Amino acid sequence: MLFDAPVIARPRGLDPAWLDYNCHLNMAYYHVLFDQAADDVFDLIGCGPRYLAARNMSFFTAETHVCYVRKLKPDAMVSASTHILDFDSKRIHLFQELSHVEGWLSATCESMMLHIDMSGPRAMAMPDDILANVAGMAEAHKTLPLPKQAGRSIQIPRKPAGGAA
């Protein structure tokens, strides 16, 4: 199976109900856009709604970190790209970028996804066929540069005590 590197979701507009009182996209809906783009990726690797129905397995988000780079206004058309940074038998580490169709970056999202047996629910190893699809997509993505926002943490940088200002 061949995969795009990165996987790019089709462009879409913003739902007017997603705008906040500042007249730009509310932070919660950036997550919606990233989640919908991740769903596209899971469909490509065979883990969409049919996977849940047939095998009673799915993926859950264990952790996510969003960086808001530039606000989106009501008339924006956007697209999200998804890049597998790493994976193992139970996890997929994704990095996504939400860009305006004019080419500028609006936000990034880094996520750790867990493969889940829904009968528990509990984390479990992916079946061999799904793991092979993830490996194929990761292979297609391995030549992509590491995004500068990947691996960030939230902190207030402090100067050492007694250090020069």
- Give the residue extent of every domain in the chain: 7-141
Q: Phi first, then psi: what are they for 163, rounded to 5°? A: -80, 160
**pLDDT tens-digit readout, 105-145:** 999 999 999 999 999 999 999 999 999 999 999 999 999 99
- The answer to whether the pTM exceeds 0.85 is yes
> Alpha-carbon distance 106 to 68, whole Å?
6
Please choose, from the candidates 116, 128, 33, 30, the residue with its C-alpha nearest in 3D space to the C-alpha of residue 70.
30
**pLDDT tens-digit readout, 90-116:** 999 999 999 999 999 999 999 999 999
* Four-way CATH pick for 7-141: 3.30.565.10, 3.10.129.10, 3.40.50.300, 3.30.930.10: 3.10.129.10
